[in-house]
């Protein structure tokens, strides 16, 4: 073997050793990570890209369309008043349900974090509803708690108080929002409570002890210590809540789907897309793809706006630090 071949072989072996890592750890990382990556690309990214492509074609009962229609599917969607109303209503719904769910989850997390006994028990109690199917929970809410009949739990309690029965899921009133919000809070608060408890556990206890020495307790402790230290977890929780609000489907469809018509302002974009665009014998996947692009774009826009608002205190703090350093440097030069 020539010197050149020996050098090439040695270089190859050296590269292979670096690629394998110490005791072949890199190969083990790849072995564990590769199946997940293949599944993510196959079942998430490829369908997403294909859905965007379908939105520009006339795709009825097929995923391999041939007729290009450009923006016709988007024009059809925005030409429907029900779809425009659903987008507007659920922007308002997201603006309401996201902070309410976060506030309830944070309140429970703070209560349990400060509890001296029974923490594990109450964490389990509040977390268990997250394991319940949205479909099952919606049917229980509809058939047992808020069915509008005299023997329903909610109306039975109202009669005990001397009040009249309420048609919770029908009519022209807006009591159905109480049903939807209570169901959503019961299903979601426990999960985000656990995430916020994990964030609270990362805050050093010494910080609270130092604040207590300075007299910071109650609201001041929450405002100046807990919430700033909890900001990374808060950003993640609010992003998940925002995505979940725009993806609302199961609870609405199972609460109202089998009723003749949805109450006013209670048809989410996904339910509208399913009933109008994808329902029936002739499924219009092109219109469905266009609706998916619109909803995803809304989530991205509001998510970026939310992150910008929540990240603004950090930017202001960095600017203040830079200004302080510049002032100190100017004073040093002057001296």
Distant-in-sequence contacts of 170-176, Cβ < 8 A, 24+ apart? 170/259, 170/263, 171/263, 172/263, 172/264, 174/263, 174/265, 176/255, 176/256, 176/263, 176/266
pLDDT digit string (tens) for 185-238? 999 999 999 999 999 988 888 887 777 777 777 778 888 888 888 888 998 899
Could you tell me if 124 and 260 lie in one domain?
yes
Q: Is residue 67 part of a domain?
A: no
| Phi, psi of 68, deg, nearest 5 | -80, 130
Beta-carbon count within 10 A of 239 CB: 17
Could you tell me if 21 and 119 lie in one domain?
no
**Pick from 12-26, 211-225, 244-258: least confident:** 12-26
The model's pTM: 0.78
217 forms beta bridges with: none
Helix, strand or coil for residue 146? Answer: coil
pLDDT at 215: 74
pLDDT digit string (tens) for 140-199? 888 888 887 777 788 888 888 888 888 888 766 778 888 889 999 999 999 999 999 999
48 is in which domain, residue-wise? 12-54
Could you tell me if 36 and 125 lie in one domain?
no
Scanning the chain, the segments in alpha helix (DSSP H) are 3-20, 25-40, 46-54, 72-78, 81-114, 119-127, 134-140, 153-160, 176-201, 205-213, 219-221, 227-229, 231-246, 250-256, 269-272, 285-334
Could you tell me if 135 and 273 lie in one domain?
yes
CA-based nearest residue to 269, from 98, 82, 56, 138: 82
Q: Is residue 131 part of a domain?
A: yes
| Phi, psi of 291, deg, nearest 5 | -65, -40
Q: Apex CA 42: angle with CA 40 and CA 46, to 5°?
A: 100
CATH number, domain containing residue 194: 1.10.3720.10
Confidence of residue 294 (pLDDT cuts 50, 70, 90): confident
Q: How many domains does the chain have?
A: 2
| CA–CA separation, 177 and 184 (whole Å) | 10
Could you tell me if 231 and 277 lie in one domain?
yes
What burial letters (b/e) apply to 275-286, b meaning 16+ CB within 10 Å? ebbeeeeeebbb
Q: Is residue 332 part of a domain?
A: no
């Amino acid at each position: 073997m020539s010197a050149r071949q020996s050098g090439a072989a040695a270089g190859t072996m050296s590269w292979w050793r670096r690629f394998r890592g110490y005791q072949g750890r890199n190969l083990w990382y790849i072995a564990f990570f590769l199946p997940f990556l293949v599944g993510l690309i196959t079942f998430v990214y490829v369908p997403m890209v294909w859905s965007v492509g379908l939105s520009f074609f006339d795709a009825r009962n097929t995923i391999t369309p041939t007729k290009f229609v450009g923006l016709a599917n988007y024009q059809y969607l925005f030409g429907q008043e029900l779809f425009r109303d659903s987008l507007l209503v659920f922007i308002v719904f997201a603006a309401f349900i996201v902070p309410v769910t976060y506030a309830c989850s944070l309140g429970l997390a703070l209560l349990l974090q400060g509890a001296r006994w029974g923490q594990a028990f109450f964490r389990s109690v509040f977390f268990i509803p997250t394991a319940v199917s949205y479909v099952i929970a919606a049917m229980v809410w509809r058939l047992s708690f808020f069915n509008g009949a005299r023997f329903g739990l909610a109306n039975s309690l109202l009669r005990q108080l001397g009040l009249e029965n309420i048609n919770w899921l029908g009519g022209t009133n807006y009591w159905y929002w109480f049903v939807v919000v209570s169901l959503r809070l019961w299903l979601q608060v426990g999960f985000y409570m656990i995430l916020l408890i994990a964030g609270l556990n990362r805050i050093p206890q010494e910080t609270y002890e130092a604040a207590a020495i300075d007299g910071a307790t109650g609201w001041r402790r929450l405002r100046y210590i807990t919430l700033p230290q909890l900001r990374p977890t808060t950003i993640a929780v609010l992003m998940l809540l925002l995505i979940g609000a725009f993806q609302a489907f199961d609870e609405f469809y199972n609460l109202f789907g089998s009723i003749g018509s949805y109450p006013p302002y209670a048809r989410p974009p996904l339910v509208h897309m399913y009933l109008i665009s994808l329902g029936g014998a002739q499924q219009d996947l092109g219109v469905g793809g266009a609706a998916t692009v619109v909803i995803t774009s809304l989530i991205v826009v509001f998510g970026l706006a939310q992150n910008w608002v929540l990240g603004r205190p950090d930017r202001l703090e960095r600017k203040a630090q830079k200004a302080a350093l510049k002032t100190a440097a100017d004073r040093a030069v002057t001296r």
